[in-house]
Chain A
């Protein structure tokens, strides 16, 4: 049996890290949250983001849902929600959601603490007690079936579809076979490949939801009177040899593997443990897309890149996989798995096995290159008012 050692939470879920998260409710609290996390040491990470203190109601709900989801991620052993005190997003409401999963949580208002200096001092005290509580988690052996694995791609080129994505897809298949959950997303990158995915949905309702998500993303382009080709494939993708959105999509979906699609969930919605292959409706912007899956409970992310990427995440370790031999060489200290060997004749299955072994060893505590370098990007996908008005409220 494939096992790893992790942190057992009171609700039964297993974390692969034991972090304390500092969650600002708006951009106004982000710098203070960052400072509190820096002072708190390596086990404390902040999620600074750019959401404003005022947001339209559905956008505010999304911000709260993402932050609460991050706090509930099993890798989080304690959370501190920090607000300026004037935001629409409510730190107490976020804390209530997080504590519902038995995760220790505190809130802090910069206004009530007497400004930034007082907030940093109070934050330090809160962190001390949260670190103590997090340290009480039982460290024990867990089964691969308890893993929720999110897969992402960024900086794609032609090798992504030939080598890195099929290898990660093979690892997804292995995890699903072992009883775990794999999740892939980035709906704009289903355009032109949705017919392939639709055939793999387990039933008609899942199929309809998948096609609706793709239609909605494509109609945003139509509504705005723009040619999606202006942004997809990106200029970088094009330099790497990708010509059309269809070509990019057909390569991108390979990272989800070949298992049946069991469900389609909204951005940042909870991902089921032991749930097979699940699609999440996220934007193509990789940092926001990763955050959506981590808010949904993914403990580990695999991130494929052709042209190179350094990105990480504050809560989930991010495993970098490249299929491009130049990137494997030039950015060796940012890459965890070299899948470019596929171009030399190594089988996709063999590289997939290496990705899967890396997933288990990272779950077991091995640090990824992004973790070693302190890479921890965070961004929340904001609903745009025009998008809301034109398309209805997808929340």
Chain B
């Protein structure tokens, strides 16, 4: 597989990514134990239920900071996200194709 599998729970696709993709339905409280986490941590606790295919933060991300997957920016955090939390449309927004933000639009 492309990327690094974290304890058969999620896959981290590139160095520097701040989110990993769940490759199983993850329950809240699950401890993902791996040497492959960014920083010195070796355990990531899943903060809330995360469905197969969805993303969880592998590091803390502040509001407004870019979120990285595939080694590229996929959007920005709309609020602070703690490690192990679910990252999706409720706390991550696109930076592109934003006609809603274009000058003069309602």
A residues engaging B (CB < 8 A)? 157-159, 161-163, 166, 191-193, 196, 218, 221-229, 232, 238, 240-241, 243-247, 250-251, 306, 324, 326, 342-343, 345-348
B residues engaging A (CB < 8 A)? 1-3, 5, 11, 13, 21-23, 51-55, 69-70, 72-75, 87-89, 92-102, 104-106
| 25 CB < 8 A contacts A-B | A158-B53, A158-B54, A162-B3, A192-B72, A192-B95, A222-B97, A222-B98, A222-B102, A226-B100, A227-B98, A238-B88, A241-B53, A243-B89, A243-B92, A244-B74, A244-B93, A245-B96, A250-B70, A306-B53, A342-B1, A345-B5, A346-B1, A347-B1, A348-B1, A348-B2
Known: A162-B13, A222-B99. A345 touches B1 (CB 8 A): yes
- Chain B at the A interface: SS class: loop
Alpha-carbon gap, A218 to B101, bound state (A): 13
Residue of B with least CB distance to A348: B2
**Are B94 and A245 neighbours in the complex by a CB distance under 8 Å?**
yes
Extra inter-chain contacts (7) besides given A229-B93, A243-B92, A244-B95, CB under 8 Å: A161-B70, A162-B13, A221-B98, A229-B94, A243-B74, A243-B94, A247-B75
The 10 A-B pairs with the shortest beta carbon distances in the complex, nearest first, are A228-B97, A241-B53, A158-B53, A225-B105, A227-B100, A244-B94, A247-B74, A244-B75, A241-B54, A221-B99
Minimum C-beta distance from B55 to chain A (A): 7
Known: A241-B55, A306-B53. A246 touches B96 (CB 8 A): yes
Minimum C-beta distance from A347 to chain B (A): 7
* Residues of chain A contacted by B5 (CB below 8 angstroms): 345
**Are B99 and A246 neighbours in the complex by a CB distance under 8 Å?**
no
Residue of A with least CB distance to B95: A246
Pick the most buried of B2, B22, B73: most chain A CB atoms within 10 A of its CB: B2
Residue B98 contacts which of A158, A163, A224, A228 (CB distance < 8 angstroms)? A228
Alpha-carbon gap, A196 to B69, bound state (A): 14
* Residues of chain A contacted by B75 (CB below 8 angstroms): 243-244, 246-247
**Are B97 and A227 neighbours in the complex by a CB distance under 8 Å?**
yes
* Residues of chain B contacted by A346 (CB below 8 angstroms): 1
Minimum C-beta distance from B40 to chain A (A): 27
Minimum C-beta distance from A161 to chain B (A): 7
**Are B53 and A191 neighbours in the complex by a CB distance under 8 Å?**
no
**Are B87 and A225 neighbours in the complex by a CB distance under 8 Å?**
no
**Are B53 and A240 neighbours in the complex by a CB distance under 8 Å?**
yes
Residue B97 contacts which of A193, A232, A306 (CB distance < 8 angstroms)? A232
**Are B53 and A227 neighbours in the complex by a CB distance under 8 Å?**
no
Minimum C-beta distance from A262 to chain B (A): 23
* Residues of chain B contacted by A244 (CB below 8 angstroms): 74-75, 92-96
**Are B102 and A241 neighbours in the complex by a CB distance under 8 Å?**
no
